């Protein structure tokens, strides 16, 4: 559905409705919500038109990910600094007034952290996150940092109306192999109760420690010094367009 211009901000708490069941695990922080503009379902319509300024999602936040109007680059926020990664693969600090069709952010304070066994791939981080958080449901903010023996990120070119499918856009992606780079990857694990709000499962964007490369994470393999940190959010606040 296209998000209307006059619909009030939507608050979705874990356990709020039948499709958002409560999770008896590591207690979610009742005071901390993921703030986001748009939804993953909105992107898959497909519609990539910006709904609100990035600032609506990232105000007061320290960790986040998303994209920009027309899918013009990848958004990643690390340690409170917002970056855009374009088709050149280079992170640059971005104006928070830029419009976004989808962005998620949280004031990240880790509740649990632990090492990851060397050789673990990003595709296999789910059990690590579940063990730390005590659940695979709800919405969990995730930070993965250290040296990666294999890391591939991507960005996609900006699009214009009429928008192609998301799959068609992804087929035009530029990829950036970053083996052996110390990096920080940030994002969210979203379980079944959060269906439609964000990308299912684990969604990560990242930047290298020297801030010279980054993007949407396609794959990774962790080295000997990688740590995962998690924070269970109480729910999601979805900001509609003005």
**Predicted confidence (pLDDT) per residue in 34-68, tens digit:** 999 999 999 999 999 999 999 999 999 999 999 99
Tokens representing residue 63 in the block: 């960790």
- Sorted by where each begins, the domain ranges of the chain are 10-239
Give me the phi and psi of 23, to 5 degrees please.
-120, 115
At residue 6, the pLDDT reads: 29
What percentage of the chain reaches a pLDDT higher than 90?
82
Note the pLDDT of residue 25.
Answer: 43
- Give the pLDDT mean for 219-234: 97
Please tell me the pTM assigned to this model.
0.89
Q: Whose CA is closest to 117, among 209, 226, 25? A: 226
Q: How confident is the model at residue 31 (pLDDT cuts 50, 70, 90)?
A: confident
Average pLDDT of the chain is 89
Name the CATH topology of 10-239: 60s Ribosomal Protein L30; Chain: A; (3.30.1330)
φ, ψ for residue 168 (rounded to 5)? -65, -40
């Amino acid at each position: 559905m296209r998000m209307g211009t006059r619909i009030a901000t939507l608050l979705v708490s874990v356990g709020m409705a039948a499709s958002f069941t409560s999770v008896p695990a590591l207690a979610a922080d009742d005071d901390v919500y993921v703030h986001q503009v748009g939804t993953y379902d909105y992107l898959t319509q497909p519609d990539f038109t910006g709904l609100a300024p990035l600032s609506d999602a990232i105000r007061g936040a320290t960790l986040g990910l998303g994209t920009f109007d027309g899918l013009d680059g990848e958004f990643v926020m690390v340690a409170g600094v917002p970056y855009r990664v374009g088709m050149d693969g280079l992170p640059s600090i971005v104006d928070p007034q830029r419009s976004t069709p989808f962005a998620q952010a949280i004031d990240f304070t880790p509740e649990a952290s632990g090492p990851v066994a060397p050789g673990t791939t990003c595709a296999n981080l789910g059990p690590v996150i579940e063990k730390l958080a005590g659940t695979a449901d709800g919405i969990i903010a995730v930070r993965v940092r250290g040296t990666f023996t294999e890391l591939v990120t991507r960005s996609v070119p900006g699009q214009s109306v009429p928008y192609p499918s998301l799959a068609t856009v992804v087929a035009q992606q530029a990829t950036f192999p970053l083996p052996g780079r110390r990096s920080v990857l940030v994002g969210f694990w979203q379980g079944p109760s959060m269906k439609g709000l964000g990308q299912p499962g684990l969604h990560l964007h990242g930047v290298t420690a020297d801030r010279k490369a980054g993007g949407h994470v396609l794959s990774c393999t962790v080295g000997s010094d990688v740590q995962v940190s998690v924070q269970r959010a109480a729910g999601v606040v979805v900001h509609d367009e003005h």
